[in-house]
Amino acid sequence: MRALFLAVLLRDLRLAARRRIDALLPLVFFVVAISLFPLGVGPEPQTLRHIAPGVVWVCALLATMLSVQHLYAGDQADGSLEQLLLAPQPAVIVAAAKCVAHWLVNGWPLIVAAPLVGLLFDLSGPALQSLVLSLLLGTPVLSLLGGLGAALTLGLRSGGMLLILIVLPLAMPALIFGAGAVVAVDAGESAAGHYSLLGALLIATALGAPLATAAALRISTE
């Protein structure tokens, strides 16, 4: 099982490294979309600080949705998906490996960029730390839910739009607790409760989403 997990993970990382432009697009979208808000809302620091957590989290969610749409489509088109499902090990290993690879390629860069874009919103040091920590706990949830959505909508016409409609409601708790953690820290309160809930959400999603994704992949390829 470990060999299959590592093989799929390393293959997807290698492919991302060879398609750097494709891999960077979600990050570019994230930065550009966030940069538009100070221009549209105005330079008032109080207002920017107030909207920053929600803006960063919504843009992270949308950037993830953009990148996750092709998570399984390429494998389906070139016949790799059938081979992945024919491996003797359970398909849940494949689903988990692909989600981890997706997070490393698309989620991790958002976390690295978050403090920089947070400066655009005049966020304080503790608020920036909270933003990074909440994204660290929350973006894997987005990748796992996105993987499930991508598997459910595989091969469907208008699958991209359907994926967003399926995943956005499921991702709302992560959005609420993630943005809430930064708001709490900015207001001088403890964000421990928000982190705990995000952590619980991550554990629940990590346990459930790959299983559901594997089942969805089998149905999609029938």
Partner 1 sequence: MSAVALGGQRGERPLFRAVELALRPGQLVWLRGRNGRGKTSLLRLLAGLATPAQGAVTCDGQTLRKVGAQWRLHLLYIAHANALKEDLTVGESLHFLGTLHGRKPSAAEITAALTLLGIAHLRHAPVRTLSQGQRRRSALARLALPHPRSVWLLDEPFDALDDEGVQALHKLLSEQSRRGGSVLFTSHQAVALREPEPQVLNLDDFAIAA
122 dihedral zone (left: phi>0; alpha: psi -120 to 50; beta):
left
String marking each residue 63-102 x if it binds partner 1 according to CB under 8 A: -----------x--xxxx-xxxxxxxxx------------
Over its C-alpha atoms, the chain yields an Rg (Å, rounded) of 18
Nearest-angstrom CA–CA distance, 114 and 94: 29
Contact between 156 and partner 1 by CB under 8 A: the answer reads no
Nearest-angstrom CA–CA distance, 210 and 89: 14
Contact between 14 and partner 1 by CB under 8 A: the answer reads yes
Nearer to partner 1, 129 or 221 (CB): 221
Answer positive or negative: Cα dihedral of 218, 219, 220, 221. Answer: positive
Size of the site for partner 1 (CB under 8 A): 24
Nearer to partner 1, 84 or 202 (CB): 84
In whole angstroms, how close is the CB of 85 to partner 1 at the nearest point? 7
Tokens read off for 26: 């979600």
Contact between 44 and partner 1 by CB under 8 A: the answer reads no
Q: Are 127 and 180 in contact (CB under 8 A)?
A: no
Contact between 155 and partner 1 by CB under 8 A: the answer reads no
Under the rule (CB under 8 A), what is the footprint of partner 1? 3-4, 7, 11, 14-15, 18-19, 74, 77-80, 82-90, 221-222
